[in-house]
Homo-oligomer: A and B are copies of this chain.
Amino acid sequence: MTNEFDFIARLRALATDPAARGLNDDAAVLEIGGQLLVVTHDMMIEGVHWLQGQDMADVAWKLVAVNLSDLAAKGARPIGIIVGQTIPDEEERFLSGLRDALRAFNVPLLGGDTVSAGQGRTALGLTALGSSVSGIVPGRDGAQPGDLLYITGPVGAAMMGFEALQAGTEDNSLAFRRPMPLLAEGAALAPHVSAMMDVSDGLLLDAWRLATTSGVTLAIDTAEVPLGAPEERRDDALRWGDDYQLLFTASPTAELPARAIPIGTVEEGEPPLLVDGIAIFEPEGLGYRH
């Protein structure tokens, strides 16, 4: 089994269509009848994306939230979702969490495919459809030298929540169990940014992806990154995902309509990342795979 980066690069080579931005990205963008449609698809696998034995209501919520977060990063309003799943063991809880998420985000369930898992682990997939609010859909490829790098809020809260959950207490685990997609923020920011994505796999790893897709260097001052974890966990928090903040670049003169903290600058050329002045060329060790 090769690593994920290689596989995605080879998958991308199959996509001859210029619309195939979704392979550099978390979402595909299509123009249909004069509207910009944004389509995302994320999968979650038992034991990989959630702890065995975790409340399936939280898993269902997260399945919805992570896809809506991809829409948020495109400045899109959700139109609806389509779920695909093996029948989860705790279907009662799964349906309960799905109901919570549909209500919380006011998004209709449009369809679904349910398959038997046999004796295998539960696998979940979700497709979310959205429409661009402003008609401007940011990609990951637009960061320009001279821009500033911003994040909408703290990272590390989900990490602390995960650890609380693993330790067997429900204390402070909400940020991990029930993440909130920043839909309003994404829609407001979209016309003002040069590139945007959500932080799902770790700030440094996702920044590396944005940098390589844009062909620029992101110089990050980690001391500026707001934390949802104790200061001594800063290094871990920079590598943990699941907080679903928006990471974006914008001109220093842009007037931003949502709260965002500048954490670095965009520079020309290589390496993809300068983290506190240290050049980083490879993505290994920048994010957690969980």
For A115, the chain B residues whose CB sits under 8 A away are 4, 43-45, 48-49
CB pair A82–B22 under 8 Å, yes or no, is yes
Is A25 close to B, CB under 8 A? yes
A121: which B residues are within 8 A, CB to CB? Answer: 120-121
Interface string of A41-79 (1 = CB under 8 A from B): 111111111000000000000000000000000000001
Residues of B contacting A127 in the complex (Cβ-Cβ under 8 angstroms): 39, 41, 82, 127
Give min CB distance, A57 to chain B, whole Å.
13
Whether a CB of chain B sits under 8 angstroms from the CB of A112 is yes
**Closest Cβ–Cβ distance, residue A68 to chain B (whole Å):** 14
A 74-91 binary contact with B (CB < 8 Å = 1; else 0) = 000001101111110101
Most buried by B among A46, A111, A114, A118: A111
Contacts of A14 in B (CB 8 A): 95, 98-99, 102, 109
B43 touches A108 (CB 8 A): no
Closest to A66 in B: B113
Closest B residue to A37 by beta carbon equals: B32
Per-residue 0/1 for A103-126: is the Cβ within 8 Å of any B Cβ (1 yes, 0 no)?
000001111111111101101010
Is A20 an interface residue when CB atoms closer than 8 A count as contact? yes
State how many angstroms separate the Cβ of A34 from the closest Cβ of chain B. 5
Interface-forming stretch among A5-13, A181-189, A243-251, A257-265? Answer: A5-13
User: Are the CB atoms of B108 and A20 closer together than 8 Å?
Assistant: yes
- CB <8 Å contact, A26 and B113: yes
CA distance A74 to B21 in the complex (A): 27
Known: A17-B110, A43-B125, A111-B27. Contact between A87 and B1, CB under 8 A? yes
A131: interface (CB < 8 Å)? yes
Nearest chain B CB to A53's CB is how many angstroms away?
16
A10 near B95: Cβ-Cβ < 8 Å: yes
Quote the shortest CB–CB distance from A135 to chain B (angstroms): 12
What are 20 inter-chain pairs, A to B, with CB distance below 8 A?
A: A2-B91, A4-B87, A4-B114, A7-B87, A10-B95, A11-B95, A11-B114, A14-B109, A19-B108, A23-B111, A26-B113, A30-B129, A33-B35, A37-B37, A41-B82, A41-B111, A45-B116, A48-B116, A125-B125, A127-B127
Which 10 A-B residue pairings sit nearest by Cβ, starting from the closest? A22-B111, A33-B33, A17-B108, A125-B125, A28-B111, A28-B110, A123-B123, A15-B109, A33-B35, A43-B84
Given contacts A14-B109, A39-B82, 17 further A-B contacts (CB under 8 A): A7-B87, A11-B114, A15-B110, A17-B80, A19-B80, A19-B108, A20-B110, A30-B79, A32-B32, A41-B111, A41-B113, A42-B113, A43-B85, A45-B115, A46-B120, A47-B120, A48-B117
